[in-house]
């Protein structure tokens, strides 16, 4: 174990930070561009479903890359003995399961187009999803994702992982300040057209 909590000399840490920062910025910019210009729909031959599936595949791949870089960064970071406690490792397992249940059940409830910004393509849900996991928390995908980041940090016994999890949490909070009002506007416009 090193005497420092976070090794700032490791390039893997900065790669992980960059990817964590990039992902929500990317999907918000691309989704808004789609809403305003229909660029992805046009590239998909006028089919909003194909455009949504293309964006879904891109976001999913970027998520896998981000997760890989996060794991890689933690592998090169110092550990701390406080995380050796049995309860910490049990907590990591419970957080991992909870996080994945929230994310996967959200995806199941919303489907591909609901999960991957189909509403920006004009593919709107008939009604708001209020069942599990949306009856547990408002943003179960973001909460679940944050839980899995924290679980991984605890499992790796990594103070750097805790710091990166805090960054993920803050970015999701910021992303929601842009996403929620914009999505509400999309559905408000839909209701006006009725």
pLDDT digits (tens), the chain, 194 positions? 456 899 999 999 999 999 999 999 999 999 999 999 999 999 999 999 999 999 999 999 999 999 999 999 999 999 999 999 999 999 999 999 999 999 999 999 999 999 999 999 999 998 888 899 999 999 999 999 999 999 999 999 999 999 999 999 999 999 999 999 999 899 888 767 65
Rounded-to-10 torsion of CA 71, 157, 18, 6 = -140
Residues 156, 75: Cα–Cα separation, whole Å? 7
H or E stretch including 39? helix 39-43
Is pTM beyond 0.95? Reply is: no
């Amino acid at each position: 174990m090193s005497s420092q909590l976070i090794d700032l000399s490791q390039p893997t840490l900065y790669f992980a930070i960059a990817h964590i920062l990039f992902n929500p910025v990317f999907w918000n910019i691309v989704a808004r561009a789609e809403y305003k210009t229909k660029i992805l729909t046009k590239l998909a031959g006028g089919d909003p479903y194909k455009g949504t599936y293309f964006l879904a595949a891109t976001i999913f791949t970027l998520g896998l890359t981000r997760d890989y870089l996060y794991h890689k960064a933690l592998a090169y970071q110092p550990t701390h003995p406080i995380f050796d406690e049995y309860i910490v490792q049990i907590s990591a397992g419970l957080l991992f399961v909870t996080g994945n249940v929230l994310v996967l059940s959200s995806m199941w409830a919303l489907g591909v187009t609901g999960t991957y910004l189909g509403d920006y393509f004009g593919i709107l849900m008939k009604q708001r999803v209020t069942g599990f996991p949306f009856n547990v928390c408002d943003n179960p995908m973001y909460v679940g994702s944050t839980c899995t980041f924290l679980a991984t940090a605890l499992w790796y016994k990594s103070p750097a992982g805790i710091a990166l999890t805090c960054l993920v949490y803050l970015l999701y909070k910021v992303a929601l300040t842009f996403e929620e009002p914009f999505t509400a506007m999309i559905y408000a416009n839909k209701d006006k057209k009725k």
